[in-house]
Amino acid sequence: MTQPRRGWLAALTAAMLWAATPVIAQAQSLIRDTEIEMIIRQGADPILEASGLEPDDVTIMLIADPTLNAFATQGQRMGFHTGLILEADTPNEFLGVLAHEAGHLSGGHTIRGDLQRAGMRPFLLTMGLGVLAALAGAPDAAAALIGSSTYFGTLGALRYSRSQEAAADQAAVSALEASGVSGRGLVEFFENFRYQEVFSEERRFPFFRSHPLSSDRIFNLRRRVQEQSHYDMVDSEEALFQHRVMQAKLYAFLNPPANTLQRYPSSDISYEARYARAIAAYRASHIDDAILQIDALLEEHPDNPFLWELRGQVLFEAGRPAEAEPAHRRSVELMPEAGLLRLNLAQAIIALDDRSRMEEAIAELHRSLAYERDNPFAYLLMSQAYGALGEDGMARLAQAEYHFSIREMDEAQRSAVFARSRLEAGSVPYRRAVDIILATGATFEDIEELDRTTAQNAEQEFQ
């Protein structure tokens, strides 16, 4: 059902509520989680470097999708479906697949279909794994934040040739060996799904539709891997533990609580099982029980920033921001360079609706952006905070930054023109607004006309 158009501040408020509401994804969504990203990066960065890539230049995307798939594409981007992570029995298997995708990147393999034309929209659904789908009743906010149907629709066009697959296999083995990791996991991963070879195209997992599998390929890969000096290396106990934690967290957030309790019954007293059950309680809206379980874990692990983050998330999404703020602040103290954790803290402060603390929230958002410059959601929060302070120009500049970051150039231009009309001429924010206007395709000659039309319309909408 179509809803009436709302003002920009109301839309941003709806976006805040949406982003804080845990809903199971009905379609593919990009998700962010600091803990999982850290676990993946610990194993990935040495392999990326051994592949001849600069780890900081490679974007690793986590996609909420139960199917088994992974891909590499232009702009040094790699994507992994959560289904693949949950199917990987060991860290070594997952790192083998990652090394294979790194081989595609280092080999400069092209991707067939429309993906190159569609490009990659740098949006994200952030604030932990609870942010997975749009809240019913805020379709405009959801559309603004997701805007990814073109991107996800083109994932089906991913295809690599058999020669590219063989080259990526060989590159993966070399990179794994150079980084001191066994290639056995990659072979075992392919062996586990060897039956896919006989399936029709429609019945295969997406990964094996885009990465053709054959007995000859597995044979050649196994022979090469067995020749490597690190073939008998095994995952460390710490790596195995972190892998189990990652899988438990993903499973608990992406599946119904009843399924989580079945997979991680109360008889399982491991850390990862207790972690999963705490998440299940939260997702079942048993807030007090979830807090009790999280606090029990915190008694044993008081310096774990991700437990504090989860505590803050549960309380925030239960409508208790005053209680959530200390938990998010503690997570930031324990991991000050994590941009998403600072984003959580800023969001909790903004939700207190205390005008005197908006500057504090804005400062946290600037710190967050120092670590994650391409985080559109931070600009949405910043726009809301500046709006609460009555700083219309800065609020619209932050909105322009948001639209620019997700490549919505017309909206970015309109917001920047309005911001420019409200900012002090020659100031840094004023110059940034002009930069955005010019970067969206306008010329200096166009700016005068834009001032007369777009800014006037924007002011009417703002009122």
How would DSSP label each residue in 307-369? Answer: HHHHHHHHHHHTT-HHHHHHHHHHHHHH-TT-HHHHHHHHHHHHHTT-GGGHHHHHHHHHHHH
Beta bridge partners of 71: 79
Q: Which of 27, 36, 89 is nearest to 279 (CA)?
A: 36
* Residue-level pLDDT at 273: 98
For residues 362-381, average pLDDT: 92
Confidence of residue 460 (pLDDT cuts 50, 70, 90): low
213 in the Ramachandran plot: left (φ > 0), alpha (ψ -120 to 50) or beta?
A: beta
Confidence of residue 166 (pLDDT cuts 50, 70, 90): confident
Confidence of residue 114 (pLDDT cuts 50, 70, 90): very low
Residue 51 lies in a domain: yes
Token pair in block for residue 110: 């092209």
pLDDT: is 463 or 451 the higher one?
451
Strands 30-31 and 70-73, how do they pair?
Answer: unpaired
Distance between CA atoms of residues 222 and 194, nearest Å:
13
pLDDT: is 149 or 108 the higher one?
108
Beta bridge partners of 77: 59, 73
Distance between CA atoms of residues 442 and 284, nearest Å:
50
Of 16-30, 70-84, 165-179, 207-221, the one with minimum mean pLDDT is 16-30
**How many other CB atoms are found less than 10 A from the CB of residue 430?**
18
Q: Sheet with 59-63: list strands edge to edge.
A: 30-31, 59-63, 77-81, 70-73
* Residue-level pLDDT at 190: 82
Of 55-69, 137-151, 175-189, 424-438, the one with minimum mean pLDDT is 137-151
Residue 137 lies in a domain: yes
Say if residue 204's pLDDT is above 50. no
Residue 174 lies in a domain: yes
- Rounded to the nearest integer, the mean pLDDT of the chain is 81
Phi, psi of 389 (to 5 degrees): -85, -5
Chain centroid, CA 419 distance in Å = 29
Element (H, E) at 406: none
* Residue-level pLDDT at 143: 40
* Residue-level pLDDT at 131: 41
Element (H, E) at 13: helix 8-19
Compute the radius of gyration of the chain from its Cα atoms. 23
Of 14-23, 125-134, 203-212, 308-317, the one with minimum mean pLDDT is 14-23
* Residue-level pLDDT at 454: 55
Q: What is the pTM of this model?
A: 0.80
Residue 90 lies in a domain: yes
Domain of residue 165 covers: 8-12+25-226
Of 140-149, 253-262, 337-346, 444-453, the one with minimum mean pLDDT is 140-149
* Residue-level pLDDT at 161: 66
Q: How far are the Cα atoms of 102, 179, 185 from residue 230, in angstroms, in the given order? A: 19, 9, 12
For residues 356-376, average pLDDT: 93
* Residue-level pLDDT at 159: 55
Strand ranges, E, within 53-141: 59-63, 70-73, 77-81
Say if residue 11's pLDDT is above 70. no
Alpha helices in 30-90 (DSSP H): 34-50, 82-87
Instruction: Please answer whether residues 398 and 365 qualify as being in contact, where contact means their C-beta atoms are separated by less than 8 angstroms.
Output: no
Token pair in block for residue 383: 């726009």
pLDDT: is 4 or 218 the higher one?
218
Distance between CA atoms of residues 209 and 201, nearest Å:
6
Confidence of residue 85 (pLDDT cuts 50, 70, 90): very high
Residue 138 lies in a domain: yes
Residue 109 lies in a domain: yes
* Residue-level pLDDT at 304: 98
* Residue-level pLDDT at 453: 64
Say if residue 335's pLDDT is above 80. yes
Q: Which of 145, 73, 72, 150 is nearest to 118 (CA)?
A: 150
User: For residue 373, with 0-12 CB atoms within 10 Å meaning exposed, 13-18 middle and 19 or more buried, which class applies?
Assistant: exposed
Element (H, E) at 422: helix 409-422
Residue 406 lies in a domain: no
Confidence of residue 8 (pLDDT cuts 50, 70, 90): very low
Instruction: Please answer whether residues 17 and 138 qualify as being in contact, where contact means their C-beta atoms are separated by less than 8 angstroms.
Output: yes
Of 176-180, 201-205, 281-285, the one with minimum mean pLDDT is 201-205
Say if residue 424's pLDDT is above 90. yes
Q: What percent of the chain has pLDDT over 70?
A: 74
Dihedral, 337, 28, 89, 219 alpha carbons, nearest 10: -120
Residue 281 lies in a domain: no
Confidence of residue 154 (pLDDT cuts 50, 70, 90): very low
Counting the structural domains of the chain, the total is 1
Confidence of residue 288 (pLDDT cuts 50, 70, 90): very high
Instruction: Please answer whether residues 196 and 145 qualify as being in contact, where contact means their C-beta atoms are separated by less than 8 angstroms.
Output: no
| Biggest distance spanned by C-alpha atoms of the chain | 71
Token pair in block for residue 246: 């990652």
Distance between CA atoms of residues 84 and 66, nearest Å:
8
Which of the 8 DSSP states describes residue 135? Answer: P
